[in-house]
């Protein structure tokens, strides 16, 4: 599978992501971050027609994009979050960055 976010088909390279990670971490806004293995490493849990839980290897659906990781950042407002997203290699042609507030609990 080609992952546009990982340097194939015009997306950002891993080195660009590493540089961005150093930049955003050095800025002191990162609360936590994570990287995920590719969808070929996924295990899916669902239910069959009888309602029994079924575990299967691999991604649930064929997709052209997948979540490769994420950041939780502590910034003043949505505009600052957008500014960081624009700097992310994930928002380069062939990719995108989704911004969402953390839900209160």
Distance CA 88, CA 93 (A): 11
Please state whether the predicted TM-score (pTM) of the whole model is above 0.85: no
Domain ranges for the chain: 4-91
Q: Which tens digits make up the pLDDT trace of 37-92? A: 888 888 888 899 999 999 988 766 666 667 888 999 999 999 999 999 999 999 99
* Cα atoms in the Cβ-side hemisphere of radius 13 Å centred on 101: 7
Instruction: For domain 4-91, give the CATH number.
Output: 3.30.70.1060
Cβ neighbours, 10 Å, residue 80: 13
């Amino acid at each position: 599978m080609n992952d546009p976010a990982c340097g194939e088909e015009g997306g950002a390279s891993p080195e660009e992501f590493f540089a961005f990670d150093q930049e955003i971490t050095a800025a002191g806004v990162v609360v936590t971050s994570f990287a995920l293995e590719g969808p070929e490493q996924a295990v899916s849990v669902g239910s069959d027609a009888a309602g029994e839980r079924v575990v299967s290897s691999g991604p649930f659906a064929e997709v052209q994009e997948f979540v490769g990781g994420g950041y939780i950042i502590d910034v003043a407002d949505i505009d600052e979050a957008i500014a960081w997203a624009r700097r992310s290699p994930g928002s380069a042609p062939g990719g995108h960055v989704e911004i969402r507030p953390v839900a209160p609990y």
